[in-house]
Structure 1
Amino acid sequence: MAVALPLRLAAAAAGLVALVAAGAVSATRPAPKPPVSAVRLGVAAPPAPTDPAGRVYLEEGFENDLAHALSGRLKTPAEIVRLSPDEAEAALRDGRVDLLIARAGPDAASRRDVKVIPAGYASGVGAALRSDTDIHAWSDLRGRTACVSEANAAGRRLAEDHGARLRLTSAPAPALIDLRTGLCDVSIHDAAQLKPLLSKRIWRKFSSTLPEVAPTSLAVLVSARQPDLAEWAAEATAAIAGGAGGDTRAASWASMVDFEVYRDQVAADCH
């Protein structure tokens, strides 16, 4: 018994040393991210538009595309919540959504209320016009007809601010068809999407543009009150936003919209 006691004390001391050492190591490690059972992913864009025949069209930007790609990277169930642009930020502030996919302006990085995570796509507002147009500046739109899709809030504001008559369409392809057939003087879209589209030979007669204005970038927004969620969302966003992802999406968009215009146009081009 006289020998057993020191052995027990030694074992206890060794265990205490190990415990202290483990505590010291764990103190240097970042705290584990809290488990998330489900994420409410807000999207400041309507669903992909359809026509009365049930044909689906590409939408104006890539908000919906990013929402589905991000939901597959979060490694947890994700509920996509559709929001109007007017209510989107309020929904993030009051906790109706955990993450918000939206357009962010140039000053977004300096905001303190939200963490803005770039998603690899940026563009200003651009325009497609006939090559022989007499419209050479945005101010020339006064009194002219501008085709804009209903989801293109920035394009609508720009057209209205310059005194244009709005002709709203359900999707980009119908807006571009109306330009080709003479119902519109200009069709307004993201400049980054128009660039690969208007480089196609079939668009040569409608490849005049206006200076790119009102730049925004597609981003994932997280409340500053949730830094762990912001870190987690940044990792998932980086996995789908790297490299030339924005250019690839724009080129794919242009090819599909070009096909939709070819498929749907029934009247001849204006001359």
Structure 2
Amino acid sequence: MSSAQGPRALGLFLHTTRVLVVGSALVLTANQAIAGPAQEGWLLGVANVPDAPVPGAKPRTPVRIEVLAGAKWEGSAPMQAVAADQALAQLQDGQLDAWVGVLPENSQVSQQVLKQTVAWSVSPMAIMRTDTDIHDWASLAGRTVCLSADGRYVGELNARLGAIEQVYASATDALLALRTGQCDAAVQDEGFLRQLLKYPEWRKFSAQLAPYRKASLTQLVRADLPTSARKALQQVFSAKNLTQLGKEQAKTIAFEVYLDQAVPDCH
């Protein structure tokens, strides 16, 4: 970043540091609120579990909101990586207590499993530089799109639109590539991007394409799961909790991008 950005950068650093401290306190409060059932060792499945960070690696926040939320109450049993088509069977035979993710529309849910929609949009949304000439999804044909390996859309943009996908290890790295001109657009969950675009640092990259398809998270729970565990699950994946968690996530990822951006924006 240029030296002229020094005062502003320092202000952003101090502001974000305060934000992260407050966010950590909120996470601690949430953990305390659900400590009881989590200690019973229940099993949560999600479609993707990020790899453990390599020692010394830069911090990277997962982009899937269910992973962040699940980490707050998983307790002694680590989250399991379970594909959607396997989740229903594992819930029925007791290998899982709950699963959260995107469930295909034609999935058949048995009476032994409770199904509920989670109020968080995981529809694919695109953001770009404000001077972009991309004004609809069809315009991404032959254009570069930054995606993250832990996101939901790897392969979809190429197959559906003919876009050239550039896949990065994390949302932070993908967004950093967008800011420095490595790609024409970035695609992530709508819920996350709408939180991110509230920050003034992202005004230059606030051109957007509304989702071309709608998708929400679904939570599946064993019907015989203890009432205390079901209530805790509802609390963690409630609209109120996810909104707060989404705000923390966007602040943290924005800060990670800021710390790693060694060159000015591409325009």
Tell me by how many angstroms 1:258 deviates.
0.9
Q: Quick one: which amino acid aligns to residue 219 of structure 2?
A: V
In structure 2, the residue matched to 1:66 is 69
Q: Percent identity?
A: 31
d(CA) in 2 for partners of 1:247, 1:107: 28
Task: Give 1:15's aligned residue.
Answer: none
Q: 2:241 aligns with which of 242, 245, 254?
A: 245
Choose the corresponding residue for 1:40, options 39, 43, 51. 43
Considering only aligned residues, what root-mean-square deviation do their CA atoms show, in Å? 2.9
Kept in 2: contact 1:125–1:214 (CA 8 A) = yes
Structure 1 portions without partners, runs of 5+? 1-35
**CA apart distance, 1:269:** 1.3
Gaps in structure 2 of 5+ consecutive residues: 1-38
How big is the shift at 1:161? 1.2
* 1:20-35 pair list within 5 angstroms: none
Could you tell me which residue of structure 1 aligns to residue 172 of structure 2? 173
Q: Which amino acid in structure 1 is aligned with residue 43 of structure 2?
A: R
Structure 1 residue 159: deviation in Å? 4.3
Task: Using the TM superposition, give the Cα deviation of residue 160 of structure 1 relative to its aligned residue in structure 2, in angstroms.
Answer: 3.2
Alpha-carbon deviation of 1:101? Answer: 2.1
Partner of residue 216, structure 1: 215
Amino acid in the other structure paired with 2:99:
L
Please list the CA deviations of residues 211-256 of structure 1 after superposition, one character each: whole Å capped at 9, or x if unmatched: 123332233213xxx4222855432222223452232222211111
Matched residue SS, 1:154: coil
Q: Secondary structure at the match of 2:142?
A: coil
TM-score (norm 2): 0.73
> Number of aligned pairs?
228
Whether the 8 Å CA contact 1:196–1:251 is kept in 2: the answer is: yes
Q: In structure 1, how many angstroms separate the alpha carbons of the residues matched to 2:246 and 2:151?
A: 16
Which residue identity lines up with residue 60 of structure 2 in the other structure? Y
> Structure 1 residues 105 and 248, CA, compared in 2 at 3 Å: closer, same or farther?
farther
Task: Please name the residue that 1:234 is paired with.
Answer: 230
Q: Within 5 Å, give how 1:68-87 maps onto structure 2.
A: 68-71=71-74, 77-83=76-82
Write the mapping of 1:10-25 to structure 2, written as runs, cut at 5 A.
Answer: none
On the 8 A contact 2:128/2:185 being kept in 1, the answer is: yes
Q: Which letter maps to 1:125?
A: P
Question: What SS is found at the alignment partner of 1:45?
Answer: coil
Shift of 1:52: 7.9
Output the CA distance in 2 between the equivalents of 1:125 and 1:155.
11
Contact 1:119 1:237 in 2 (8 A): no
SS of residue paired to 2:102: strand
The amino acid that maps onto 2:141 is R
SS in 2 for 1:256: helix
Instruction: Measure, in 1, the Cα distance between the counterparts of 2:125 and 2:77.
Output: 33
Q: Does the 8 Å CA contact 1:50/1:170 hold for their aligned counterparts?
A: no
